[in-house]
Amino acid sequence: MSTAPVSTPPASSLKSIADSRPVAYPKIITEPPPFSIETLQALLDGEQKPMRDRVKQILRQPHFRYYTGTDTAEYREKVFHWCLELAREGIARIGYPAAAGGEGDTEKFLAAFETLAFHDLSLVIKFGVQFGLFGGSLQQLGTEHHHRKYLLPCGTLALPGCFAMTEIGHGSNVKDIETTATYDVSPREFIIHSPSPAAGKSYIGNAAVHGRAATVFAQLIVGEDRHGVHAFVVPLRSAEGFLLPGVRIEDNGQKLGLNGVDNGKIWFDQVRIPREDMLDRFASVSPEGEYSSPIKNPGARFFTMLGTLVGGRISIASSGNNAAKSALAIAVRYAGRRRQFSGPKQEAETLLFDYPSHQRRLMPLLANAYGLHFALQHLVRVYAAPKRKEADTRALESLAAGLKAWSTWNTTNTIQTCREACGGEGYLAVNRFAALKADTDIFTTFEGDNTVLLQLLAKNLLTDLRAKFKGMSKLDLLQFFGEQTSTKFVELNPISTLKIDKAHLRDTDFHLAAFRYREQRILLGTAKRMRRLASEGADAYATFLSCQIRLGVLAQASVERVILEQFAAAVTNCSDKQVRAVLKDLMDLFALVQIERHRGWYLEYSYLQPRKSKAIGREVDQLCADLRPMAVALVNSFGIPDECLAAPIALR
């Protein structure tokens, strides 16, 4: 046997061979839909359709073609220059005030950001860190001085920046971060310092390579007094890119995904900054060292300062849902062209999408994507509304926390299911699932760990319930519990729990009642349990730990109710009869799948009888079959450019 070395063609020639011999995939088999794709896409795009179309046109340009190499440094530079191009187009500063070169249009900015998620997700995150988190903190926590000095160069990317909140030793526990900002009266400077290795800011986007400044969150110390967490603009690098004295940065290195983003860890050693570089919209320190704030309550002040996180959570939730849409578009189109096995009398093999099991895998996820789309549109409208009151702000934070958690968990599940539905083709990097899976995995802990966010939502629900009870007279309380009893009587009677006709099972009133009953029952049950534990002498923390799992279940029930309500509102407000009909079927599928998923709970509480539970499963199967002929049209209505979708198995 010859032992001569095997000659391997250079990578460039291999690439040219691959490019010159594309795989000829069969035609996608689909039927003309009973609705207009253009009308449905216009409904999904909403008032921001011109902005979305503009971003898509930019992303279709040749220089935005996906990077497929393995050199991390090269990938990071590619992503940086994509961001620079978007900044040149003015996309980055749309949400900033006119003084910073923007339009002050939050909804338009979020629409642009969401649309970017049809493209490379490293671009989405780098864009979000620079213009959303760094720029957003300057805009929302700073004053006119900071807007003039920092916000304009931030929006043009002349000043690459970071959002340095998270620390190695504290994660989501922002209140107890260790980094300090001590005021020195005589030179009128703050001294930014990391007192321990655990105080290093970690996982900070833009830090490892490009960042020249950071919004740093630190414990403010003035004299002998500590005033809690505040934000400061701290320089990191010179204009030439060299680290400044007292700043130490380490590269986080390779990650599971998003390797086009240069995450890093930052420590500060007695770094001095001018007094004016404290972001002082909600609190300030005078030259003489006197602290003042228009918000007297320290807790309220802290949560007001954290308001910059709300925009980030909204953006991540929307981006995650768009990534799920991309996965669904690839898997649904592939299922319409790929054949597998045949019956004894069939000449042609069966299309994947003609198998009921395949329909059951994909159609409920498609319904989720549509339901989340309308719920997230509602969230954006609430966020962009001017002059919110304090109560509205807390409700917004709760809604953002819950939808971010539900959306990103759904993203992870959707992409994995779609990958499996595409078999070995889905495992090839060229078909994009590898990138989608790797890049979105972190979304479940980005901008707040999902489990923690659900606890935040649940605690706010309990606070609202407590406030409601506190303001009630005895007569009001009797009326409230009387309504609860009446609801149980109506909804738990045998006529309702056994009813299985199609009209009832697809009745929106039935769906809404079931979702609302579940949320309210869990809420009241949790409140009673916590009250009982407190009366038995348990402290607040022990009571919280005892109910922690219940809180997560409560929060998910609340989010699902919101999604269904917003889905129902979108269906009701749709003026096109054919589009409204298909959206109604999708909404029914979403609702029935959630009831089916929680059937154990509904059976335990006698809301369903076994016969009705089985009927719901059969109705889900039927809805999947009814929607299957429209599936390709439904994913085409997302309006994802082929240049962004890019997967050969999905291209028309």
Residues of CATH 1.10.540.10 domain(s) within the chain?
A: 37-155
Mean pLDDT of 397-408: 96
pLDDT at residue 17 in the model: 35
CA distance 123 to 82: 7
Instruction: Note whether 624 and 356 are within 8 A (CB).
Output: yes
Q: Which of 469, 132, 461 is nearest to 309 (CA)?
A: 132
Residues of CATH 2.40.110.10 domain(s) within the chain?
A: 161-296
Instruction: Note whether 533 and 543 are within 8 A (CB).
Output: yes
389: left (phi over 0), alpha (psi -120 to 50) or beta: beta
CA distance 393 to 308: 12
pLDDT at 497 over 90: no
CA distance 532 to 521: 16
Rg (CA), the chain: 27
CA distance 45 to 282: 36
pLDDT at residue 227 in the model: 95
Mean pLDDT of 146-158: 94
pLDDT at 279 over 80: yes
CATH number of 310-339+350-650: 1.20.140.10
First to last CA, the chain: 48
Give 453-494 pLDDT, tens digit per residue: 999 999 999 988 887 777 666 666 556 656 665 666 567 777
How are beta strands 180-184 and 264-268 bridged, if at all?
A: unpaired
188: left (phi over 0), alpha (psi -120 to 50) or beta: left
Residue 247: pLDDT band with limits 50, 70, 90? very high
Instruction: Note whether 449 and 135 are within 8 A (CB).
Output: no
Q: Which residue has the higher pLDDT, 16 or 625?
A: 625
Residue 235 bridge partners (DSSP): 213
Topology classification of domain 161-296:
Butyryl-CoA Dehydrogenase, subunit A; domain 2 (2.40.110)
Residue 299 bridge partners (DSSP): none
Angle between helices 390-421 and 308-335 (to 10 degrees): 30
pLDDT at 7 over 60: no
pLDDT at residue 474 in the model: 60
Mean pLDDT of 101-119: 94
Residues of CATH 1.20.140.10 domain(s) within the chain?
A: 310-339+350-650
Topology classification of domain 37-155:
Butyryl-Coa Dehydrogenase, subunit A; domain 1 (1.10.540)
Give 536-565 pLDDT, tens digit per residue: 888 888 888 888 899 999 999 999 999 999
What angle (nearest 5°) sits at the alpha carbon of residue 233, between those of residues 311 and 110? 20
* Phi, psi (degrees; rounded to nearest 5) at 48: -95, 20
Q: pTM of the entire structure?
A: 0.92
pLDDT at residue 485 in the model: 57
Give 332-363 pLDDT, tens digit per residue: 999 999 888 877 777 788 899 999 999 999 99
Question: What residue type is assigned to position 379 of the chain?
Answer: L
Q: Which of 516, 592, 646 is nearest to 363 (CA)?
A: 592
pLDDT at residue 533 in the model: 84
35: left (phi over 0), alpha (psi -120 to 50) or beta: beta
